[in-house]
């Protein structure tokens, strides 16, 4: 088993703080990408909306979430160690590997199964975790 990512918020307040902290990064990222795409000021003003920057913020936040990558047995052991957590699993039960992210303040674990494509599973899991857990926590601050 190994871990990828940088943070795993333990409280709703920590989640909101981290989400706010990636806001400037999202703005800078969007600005630099539009420069690389040769947007002039008019096109930038027309196309770069608050929703565009907010989408970048969500993607950046999700991409930084800490996830565990391991075998089905390691995931089941983790779940046994966290019996109060509701399990939200996407994918097939008939594959050997699982990537998961536990959310202590929600007592939930979000998991995605995979056989060979670890990077794809990690990306899918992070988006799923943001959409199913974190979005509701940060939406009031957006």
17 within domain boundaries: yes
98 within domain boundaries = yes
- Residue 120 in any domain: the answer is yes
Average pLDDT, the chain: 95
Q: What's the token pair of residue 89?
A: 């699993």
Helix (H) or strand (E) holding 122: helix 118-129
Q: What is the mean pLDDT of residues 78-99?
A: 95
Position 139 scores a pLDDT of 84
* Average pLDDT score over residue span 4-18: 95
Asked whether residue 68 is domain-assigned, the answer is yes
**In-domain check, residue 47:** no
Parent domain of 16: 2-22+64-141
Any domain includes 27:
no
Q: Half-sphere exposure of 95 toward its Cβ, with a 13 Å CA cutoff?
A: 17
pLDDT for position 63: 97
C-alpha angle 135/136/137, rounded to 5°?
90
Residue 42 placed within a domain: no
Q: How many domains does the chain have?
A: 1
- What pLDDT, in 10s, does the model give residues 51-69? 999 999 999 999 999 999 9
Order across the sheet with 97-103: list the strands.
2-4, 67-71, 97-103, 108-114, 86-90
- Asked whether residue 109 is assigned to any structural domain, the reply reads yes
């Amino acid at each position: 088993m190994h871990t990828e990512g940088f943070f795993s918020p333990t409280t709703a307040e920590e989640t909101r703080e981290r989400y706010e902290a990636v806001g400037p990064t999202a703005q800078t990222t969007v600005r630099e990408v539009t420069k690389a795409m040769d947007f002039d000021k008019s096109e930038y003003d027309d196309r770069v909306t608050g929703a565009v920057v907010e989408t970048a913020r969500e993607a950046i936040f999700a991409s930084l979430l800490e996830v565990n990558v391991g075998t089905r047995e390691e995931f089941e052991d983790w779940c046994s160690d966290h019996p109060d957590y509701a399990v939200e699993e996407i994918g097939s039960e008939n594959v050997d590997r699982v990537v998961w992210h536990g959310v202590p303040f929600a007592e939930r674990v979000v998991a995605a199964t995979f056989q060979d494509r670890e990077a794809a599973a990690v990306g899918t899991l992070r988006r799923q975790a943001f959409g199913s857990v974190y979005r509701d926590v940060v939406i009031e601050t957006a």
